[in-house]
Each structure stands twice: as structure tokens, then as C-alpha cells.
A and B are shown apart, each in its own frame.
Chain A
Amino acid sequence: MPNTTYIALIPLLPLAGFLLLGIFGRTYFKNTSGMIGTSLLLASTLLSLYTAYGYFFDYGKVNGVYQKLVPLQITWLEFSKGVSIDMGIILDPISVMMLVVVTFISLMVHIYSLAYLKGEERFPTYYAFLGLFTFSMLGLVISSNIFQIYIFWELVGVSSFLLIGYYYDRPSAVAACKKAFIVTRFADAGFLIGILILSYYSGTLDFNTLIQKLTNPESLELKAAVTASFLGISALTWGLVLVFIGGAGKSAMFPLHIWLPDAMEGPTPVSALIHAATMVVAGVFLVARLFPIFALSAPAALELVGYVGAISALIAAVIACTQTDIKRVLAYSTMSQIGYMMFALGVSKYGGEDGLGYTASMFHLFTHAMFKALLFLGAGAVIHYIHSNEMKDMGGLRKYLPITHITFLIACLAIAGVPPFAGFFSKEEILLAAYHHNTGIYYLALITSGLTAFYMFRLYFSIFWNKPAQVHGEHHGEGGFAMMMPLVLLALGAAAAGFIPFGHFVSSDGNRLNSAFHLNFSIAPVALGLAGIFFAMWLYKKQNDRPDKIAASLNGLYKAAYRKFYIDELYLFVTKKILFNLVGRPAAWFDKNVVDGLVNATGNTTEYISETIKGLQSGKVQQYAMYFLVGVIGLAVLFIYIWKF
């Protein structure tokens, strides 16, 4: 294997960008910061592509199996023998794939933002934050140590917080960034406890050793972890479920998804990068990273992953059908698609043909990154043009935004699963995997795929067709080359990425997986998808009153979906009413009145006593003589009493 330590540069270049622009950007690089950030990222992207080429076609494969290589590992903090946080690089098919995805999408977003945020006062800060995010995300995907992944996990969380709150003077943005951070933090606490459990039983934090020890049925560590149980569930399952909670928070799985729609308050390119293509799939990545343990040692935990994914996919799709803010529709659609990836992992087994779900999940992650980033960037172009997020302000834009229109259409076809676009291939594999291993999930997924096609084309027709365009204000075109180039590149990806024989590169055990395509199996999902598209066309292509009528006839359901099934309200109730009013307020009151009250009472009592007895020291000899006499008599009485009885 050649020396591959240069891979460390891939995350370090964006970090350098962050430090440079973060510290000196405002003074020295007011106008050039965008170019600096973009060129550093271009270098990262080229290095990633070079790495991917080298890994997949040169040194990664030994005897037909892709290896897990660790070209670099530095002990960062040693807790005790064997338990240490290492900063390292792991090279395996999924990390290499993620390197390419993250750098490529990030590069597209960097370029796009050059035009989109041109003239912003905090331009350097924006690029600094983008650099920080890219660094953290890249560090996350190459982590060789479970604590390292947690570190970068927190860092992507904070970059997301900073970027959602980029427009910090808008109260809604401030609320959204706080919500995103706190909800994911809650999930991260689970992740942390999960790490503690896993590391305690395996005695290591290193991924490779961890997986080895917890999948080998002979190992003492695994036996201990399976035997120890709490509430009838083994410690290992608890550990994995808790880790999954962390993943579910980051990946906006039900019921921890509430932060994602609000996160759309951030600048649109940020939504494309963080909240569509990269950070939100970190949860899927985490489950995939620990997949051997899930699949071989704790199938119950994996089953939970499957059901959470499927339910999230369906719920999000239903809500997406009713939202009117185009970015929120896309946010729910993201949640729904990540649900697909999750349940694909959930229905997968380890190794061989049964490992199709794993491959399909990673494949979908890959294609989804393309078309969802494209959708967001397209939506950004629309918003840039029309200065509104609301569907009702849009319509008929196909004449004004021709490139955006075509690329958006490609992305919609891809996500709806229309052959031969990318989403079709990855989604078929997922459905196939589900069909073979869990019929319940398969039907949920089938319904979802019909809904997906419907809400995507509802979006498409409402933006580009429907009523005639009402364009006000200045006309500044589509944003020029910087905005259109990423759209076109991503559209090429969304159209063609499906033809990559993904199973040859990525599979649960590193072996080559030939995915057998069943043409007749595809009939049902594709038919459902087309039905969804035509239904959307019937409702939204021309302005009419059918949508309102249908909404009215579905009264209760429509309203519930429109209000996102009242989950936000439920959370608000729990946090405001219970945590603040029933825990926080009493704690503060108790501290002020009881604990501190006791302290003050001690002080006051001392003062009172000294106040009362200070009269005793009057300095008058007669009084002292009197006390003396009383004392003597008292003692005499006492002694007589004792002596007598």
C-alpha cells in the first residue's frame, strides 16, 4: 500500500481556510475570502478523487475484498491502557465514498455561494463557517475511533448551529439554530452513553478492534456484553440503541426530526450542503460504520433502526404533501429519503446477497446527495429570483429560469424514482432488500415512494407551471455562471449516477456484490411513482380549485399533516411546561429560599444569639457578682442533689 498520509490534508485544508478567514477574513480578505475558501476546497476535492481512484482501483482490494486501511493514527488523549481517543484515518469503501461526496457537494456549494451571497457583509465569516463544517464532516467520515467520530459529530453540530444562525438578527433564525443544537445535543447525550457502554465492554475505542471484539462469537468481551442486561435487554443492545439515538438525532429521524424543517432558516446553499447532502446522513453513516456489530450481535437493535427509518420516511412524506414553504417541503423530503437509507440498513444482513440493503443504503446516500443538493440549489435560484419561500408567490417560472427549470425537473424525476435517473436504481435496490426481509416495511416504503413522486411534482408544477409568473422588482437573471455551473454538474450526477455498479465497490463485507435487477419487480414502484406524478400534474399544472377541495375533503388529516402532526407543540409542552416550570423554576426557587435561606438563617441565628447574650457582658461588677452567686448556689444544689440521690 502506498503512503497515503496525505489524506490528512483533505480535512486540514478546509480547516486552514476556517482559521485564515475566521481570524483575518474581516480585515484582509473582505472580497477574496470566497475565492480562498473555494480554491482550498477544490484542492481537497481533487485529493479526495485521487484517493478514491487509488483506493477503489489500486491498493484497496486484497484478494477481491476491500480492506479497512488505517494509514494514520495518533493518540490524542489516553484514558487508561487501551482506552484512548485516537485521531486517525480509516479507509474503507464507505469512508472513501463519503470523502468524495462531501468534498464534491461542498465544492459545488462553495462555488454557488460566490454568487448567491455576493455583497453580504459577513461574507468572510460565511466562508469560514463553511470551511469549519467541511473540515468537521470530513473528519467525521474518516474517523478511526468511536470517540473521534463523536468529536467531529459535535463539531458538525456546532457548524450547523453557526450556519443556521448566520442571519443572526432574525429572531426566527436564532430560535431555529438553538433548537437544532439542543435537539441534536439531546440525542448526542444518548450517543455518549452508548459509547461509554460499548467501550466498557470491549475495552477499546478503536473502531476496528471494537468491531472485531464485538462480532467474534468466541470473544469474552462479546459474551460479557450480551450476558449483562438491564430491563431484560442486553448491554450490547442498549449501547447500540443509544448510539443509534445519536444517529437519529443528527439524521432527523422521527421523533427527533423537529429541528430539521426549522433549520431551513439558514442560507439556502447551507441547507443544500448540511441539511440535505452531508451532515444529516451522518446518522446513516454511523449505523453503517458499526453495521457488523448491529447485524451480527444485536439484530434487535437493527430491527429498531429499520422501523424508525420506515416510519420516519412515511410520516415525513405525508407532511411534505401539505407544506407550502418550498424549503420545508424539501426538508421533509430529506427526512423521508434518509428514512429510506435507515430502513435499508435495518432490513440488511451481514455479507453476501442478504447484504443488499447495506449496499442499497449507501447507494441511495450517494445518489440522494446529488439530487437533493441539486433541488436545494435550484430552490435557492428560485428564491434568489423571487425573494420568497412560499409556493403561492411562485408559478410559471420556467420561462425566466430555463436552466434551473430543466435541472430541477431532472432532480424531481430522480427522486421520484423514474428510470433511468439515479434515484430509480438506488430506490429499487432498497425496495428489493425490504421485500425480501421485511414485508411490513416494504409496503410502507411502497406507499412512501408514491407520495414522494406526488409531493415533488406538486413542488415542481407549483414553481414552474401553475399560474402565470408574477415577477416584480428588478430582473437579474439566474445568477450567472457561478450559480448555474453547480446546477448543471449536479444534474449530470442525478441523471447518470445510477449506472455506477455500486455493489462492486461498496458492500457490507467488502466482497463484490452483483445486484440482480428484476424488471418485473420494478413495475409496482414505478407505476406508483408515475401515478403520483400524474396526480400532481392534474392538481397543480394549471391553476384550479381541485387542491383546495381535496384538502377540504380530507379536513382532519390535512390539518394534522399541515401542522406537522403537532409534534412541535408536544415538545414545546414538555420543555416549557415540564423542564422549565416543573424542574428549573423549583430548583432556582429552592436554591434561593431553602438552601440559601438556611445559610442566612444560620447567620441570623448567630446574630440573634449574640445580640441576646451580649447583655451579659455589661462590665458592671455588681452584675458579675450576682451571676457568680447564682452560679455557686446552682452548683451547690446540683452537687447536693447528685450526692444525696
Chain B
Amino acid sequence: MNLSILILLPLLTALAVLLARNNNQVRWISFAGATAQFILAFVLMYLFREERIAGSTQQMLFEQQYNWFPSWHISFHMGVDGISVAMILLTAFVVLAGVLVSWNVTKMTKEFYFLLILLSLGAYGFFISLDLFILFFFLEIAVIPKYLLIGIWGSGKKEYSANKLALMLMGGSALVLVGLLGVYFNTPARSFDLLLLSDTGISREAQMICFPLLFVGFGVFTALFPFHTWVPDGHSSAPTAGSMFLAGISMKLGGYGCLRVATLLMPEGAKAYSTWIIVLSSIAILYGAFATMMQKDLKYINAYSSVSHCGFVLLGIGMLTQTSMTGAVMQMVSHGLMTALFFAVIGMIYERTHTRQVSEMGGLLKVMPFISTVLFIVGLCSLGLPGLSGFVAEMTVFVGSWENPDPFRRVATIAACLSIVVTAVYILRAIGQTAMGPVKESYLHLTDARWNEKLAAIILIFGIVAIGTAPFWLSDLINPGTELIMQKIKMVP
């Protein structure tokens, strides 16, 4: 399969959106484009599996390479392994759902959809790049539209949030860039090529400096404590689809970068700094959960809980066992789907009740059974109910973390395990106050979800349930990828 289709398709969709004559055309073109991406992602997964079953043991499949800046050894190098395929699938799910829930955006519809599609282009490009320069290029493409999405279509203190988000993510990118240059200038190969770099290796001294730069830089994207404060403000001000993309896709760019770039290229650095990663991620897990308990706004609840849940991603990476890293990737996919669905539901509720304060709601189950049922499902997924994706991912991280007999890592794992109780507390509080309880008089006339909202929810629920009930396909997809990273780590003396 030619991977450039993954970039060309969103590009063409974006151009078509620009040429569209009215809002209706914009919507349907975006919908068609998103559906095509969705199908393409499944085709990719299918072909990938076929290749693997046929016995291909290459690290990356469907590789393609075009020279770009030969003098700097920058080439347009693409390729995917199971981890990237999983992330591409996630992106396709979130994009399709995001396009669907934005059906009622009336303000500058064309620009809105254009930016959404552009964002997906950045994400796909990021996940298929095997050249660090290109990877960085796509990372930036995925950041900038968000500033506009929040600044223009946002709500509340949107200018502040947009600034904060853009500046913090740019700060992260700056660290990434410095780290990448450090890598570039410290290898004999003088190359940005990921595979080449991972083969030739980087000197220990350079790893000690570049690893923290890259890890923290990518970590900012995935809410690494204490650089997570853009998350609550950014999400709460963003429009629904913006929040979905932000939490569902952007935060995963960081996790993917931490794993694919930082850990794969610099195993010695990863080993040396793993204690720090574990400390920070355990803090994020517990502290994020406790902070969520006190939130009163649904979006803040989900944003803080994202901090806690993304802590599992970083914890899984920091534990440096194969199972825990597989768990980290699964958690990325699971959290991406789940949190996108959560924001979609919050958006649906907000559109009807015009409030996001849990204390002002009640009894929504009576007036909007569909939306409330989705809220239940996503809440239960968030608190790790078996049968839904969150459970599988978290358990894989726990089991993987426990493989490490070091007492300190044990303590961190136990702390992370205890967070499942706190999660239950805040999720049940939120659901109990919004969906359950006596219904308010003024809500009796409210209507349930429309077709586009239902479709969006069903698509995401399908993903959540598919992972939750049959996790083996996902772990089989991811495992060879993490195995390679593990080999590098095991080679470290």
C-alpha cells in the first residue's frame, strides 16, 4: 500500500472543502473524506496483517523514501509498524466522529472543517514519518490549527486558553527540536533517519542530554506533570470537535513520540531517566485523579481525568518492560477513543442544557436516554469496566509494571492501581449528578440525540467495545513494535 495516500486524502479533502460552495457541501465533503480515511485505515490494518501473516519480519512495512534535502540528509521517509497502524486507526475513528458531531457548527463552517481536516493530515503524517525532520514538520501542522480552533470557535476565556495551549505546546516542540538537532549532530551518520539512527546508535553522553529534552518535549503534549495545565483550560474552551481532536489525537502524538523517538533511539537515556518518568507519571495518575474529584464542570472533569489516564501511558513507557509498553500504546488508543466520546457527549449535553456544571443538571436519563446511556458507557470505560477498552489497557500496564521486581516500581504500581478507586468516585459522582436523580422541570422539553450524533457515538463505542471484548487483535498488532524497542533496551548494559 502506498502510504502517501494517507496524506494525500486529507489534503484533497481540505482543498475540496475550500472549493465548496455552501455549508451543506462542506459538511458532506468532509464527511465523505473522513469516511474514506476511516475505510483506508481499516484497509491499511488489513494489508498490514496480511503482510505479517505472510511472514514479513521487517521492522517497518510499506516503506517509501524520497530525497528532500539531500545535503542535510533529509528525506521523505515513510513506513508503518503495528504501533503506527494502531494510532492511524485511532485517528480515523476520532476524525470521523469529530466531523459528525460538528454538523451544527454555523460560524465559518468552511474554515472550521478545513482546520479539522488539516489537523488530521498532520496526525497521519506524524504517525507514518520515519524521518525526524518530517516528523517534526507534521507535529507542527497538528499544533497550529488548534490555536485557531480554540481562539475562533471556542467558548469561555478562549483567548487565554488558546494562547496558553499554543505557547505550551510550542515550548514542547522547541524542546523536541533541540533534542532532534542534538541527535542529528551527535551521530556519525549525520542523519534524521529514524531507522538508520536506531541502528547506528547515539553516544551515551548525547543520550543523557537529548533524552530528557525529547521526552519532556513530547511529554508536554501528553500532559506530563507538571506541564499539564494547558489540558484543562484548552479542553474547556475548545469547541466539541476541537476537544475531541485535542484529547483523542494531539495528546497521543506526544505519547507516540516518547516511545518511537525518545525511547527507541535512546534506550540508555530511557533507562537512566526511567525513575523520573515513573515518579512524574505516578504523580500525574493520582494527583490528576484527586484533582478531578473536586471539579464541577464536565469538561474539566474529563480534562483532569485525561491527565490521570495519560499518566498510564507515560508510566507504561517508563516501566520499560515489553508488556507495559504495549499497555501504554493500548492506553493511547483506548483513551483516545474514550475521551473523544466523552467530549462528544459533553458537547451534546451542553448544546441542550447550556450548562456544563454537574450541580445544575439531573435526571437526564429521563429526557435524553440515548445521550445518557452513552455517558454511562463512556464513564464505565473510564473507570475501567471489563468489556470496554479502558480495562484492557490499564491492566496491561499494571501487569507489565509488576514484572519489574524493584520495590520502588512496585510502590508506583500499587499507587497506580489505587487510582482505579478514585476514578470510580469521580466518574460516579459525575454520572450520578447528571444522568440520575430527579429530572428538572426546565429540562423536560429537551430532545435526544440526532442522527449525526448517534452515528458518531456508535462509531466510537464500536471501537471501545471491539478493543474491550477482543483485545488480542490490538495487542498482536502492537507487540512486534514494542518488542523491537525492548530489544534495544535489553542491549543496554
Contacts and interface: CB of A to CB of B under 8 A. Distances in A.
A76 B472 contact: yes
A151 B386 contact: yes
B392 A77 contact: yes
B287 A587 contact: yes
- Interface magnitude class on chain A: 35 or more
Interface in A596-628: 596, 598-599, 603
A17 to B, nearest CB: 16
Contact of B398 (A78, A181, A196): A196
B259 to A, nearest CB: 18
Contacts of A76: 470-472
Contacts of B436: 165, 168-169, 174
A168 B365 contact: yes
B398 A155 contact: no
Contact of B417 (A85, A151, A175, A189): A189
B421 A154 contact: no
Contacts of B425: 182, 579
Contacts of B385: 154-155, 158
A178 B383 CA distance: 13
Nearest to A77: B471
Interface in A149-193: 150-152, 154-155, 158, 165, 168-171, 174-175, 177-178, 181-182, 185-186, 188-189, 192-193
A585 interface: yes
Contacts of A638: none
Interface in B302-329: 304, 322-323
B178 interface: no
A78 B437 contact: no
B226 interface: yes
Nearest to A187: B421
Contacts of B290: 579, 583-584, 587-588
Contacts of A188: 420
A555 interface: no
B303 to A, nearest CB: 11
B477 to A, nearest CB: 13
Interface in A257-307: none
B428 A182 contact: yes
Interface residues of B, number: 58
A75 interface: yes
Interface in A421-465: none
A591 B402 contact: no
Given A154-B385, A169-B439, A591 B291 contact: yes
A200 B402 CA distance: 7
B437 A79 contact: no
A189 B402 contact: no
Interface in B356-371: 363, 365-366, 369
A474 B335 CA distance: 54
A83 interface: yes
Contact of A193 (B163, B365, B396, B414): B414
Given A78-B475, A185-B421, A189-B418, A580 B399 contact: no
Given A75-B472, A185-B424, A587 B294 contact: yes
B306 to A, nearest CB: 13
Interface in B70-123: none
Contact of A599 (B164, B287, B366, B413): B164
Interface string B463-488: 00000001110010000000000000
Most buried by B among A79, A151, A587, A596: A79
A121 to B, nearest CB: 9
B434 to A, nearest CB: 11
Contacts of B363: 168-169
Nearest to A85: B395
Contacts of A324: none
Contact of A185 (B164, B386, B413, B420): B420
B432 A178 contact: yes
Contacts of A154: 384-386, 391
B399 A151 contact: no
Contact of B428 (A155, A181, A588, A599): A181
B293 interface: yes
Contact of A169 (B229, B366, B429): B366
A75 B470 CA distance: 10
Interface string B325-369: 000000000000000000000000000000000000001011001
A278 B230 CA distance: 47
Given A168-B435, A169-B366, A591-B291, A189 B421 contact: yes
B189 to A, nearest CB: 34
A182 B424 contact: yes
Interface in B422-478: 424-425, 428-429, 432, 435-439, 470-472, 475
Interface in B264-297: 287, 290-291, 293-295
A630 interface: no
A147 interface: yes
Interface in A555-606: 579-580, 583-585, 587-588, 591, 595-596, 598-599, 603
B437 A80 contact: no
Contact of A178 (B304, B428, B472): B428
Contacts of A83: 399
Contacts of B384: 154
Contact of B403 (A80, A177, A598, A599): A80
A215 interface: no
B175 interface: no
Nearest to A168: B436
Given A80-B323, A200-B403, A182 B421 contact: yes
Contacts of A580: 293-294
B130 interface: no
B327 to A, nearest CB: 9
Given A147-B395, A169-B363, A79 B167 contact: no
A603 B164 contact: yes
Contacts of B429: 178
A181 B380 CA distance: 11
A162 to B, nearest CB: 8
Contacts of A182: 421, 424-425, 428
Contacts of B380: 158
A79 B421 contact: no
A584 B291 contact: yes
Contacts of B154: none
A199 interface: yes
A76 B167 CA distance: 43
A152 B304 CA distance: 29
Most buried by B among A152, A155, A584: A584
A367 to B, nearest CB: 31
A546 B439 CA distance: 45
Contacts of A591: 229, 287, 291, 304
Nearest to A205: B399
A588 B289 CA distance: 10
Contact of A588 (B163, B167, B295): B295
A579 B164 CA distance: 31
Enumerate the 9 nearest inter-chain pairs by beta-carbon distance, A residue then B residue, closest first: A588-B294, A151-B386, A587-B290, A596-B229, A584-B293, A168-B436, A185-B424, A196-B402, A178-B428
24 contacts: A26-B369, A75-B472, A76-B472, A77-B396, A79-B396, A154-B386, A168-B365, A168-B436, A178-B429, A178-B432, A182-B428, A185-B421, A193-B414, A196-B399, A196-B402, A583-B290, A584-B291, A584-B294, A588-B291, A588-B293, A588-B295, A599-B168, A603-B163, A603-B167
Given A185-B420, A579-B290, 16 more contacts: A76-B471, A76-B472, A151-B391, A154-B384, A158-B380, A168-B435, A168-B437, A178-B428, A192-B398, A192-B420, A193-B417, A196-B417, A199-B402, A587-B293, A591-B291, A603-B163
Interface of B: 163-164, 167-168, 225-226, 228-230, 287, 290-291, 293-295, 304, 322-323, 363, 365-366, 369, 380, 383-387, 391-392, 395-396, 398-400, 402-403, 405, 413-414, 417-418, 420-421, 424-425, 428-429, 432, 435-439, 470-472, 475
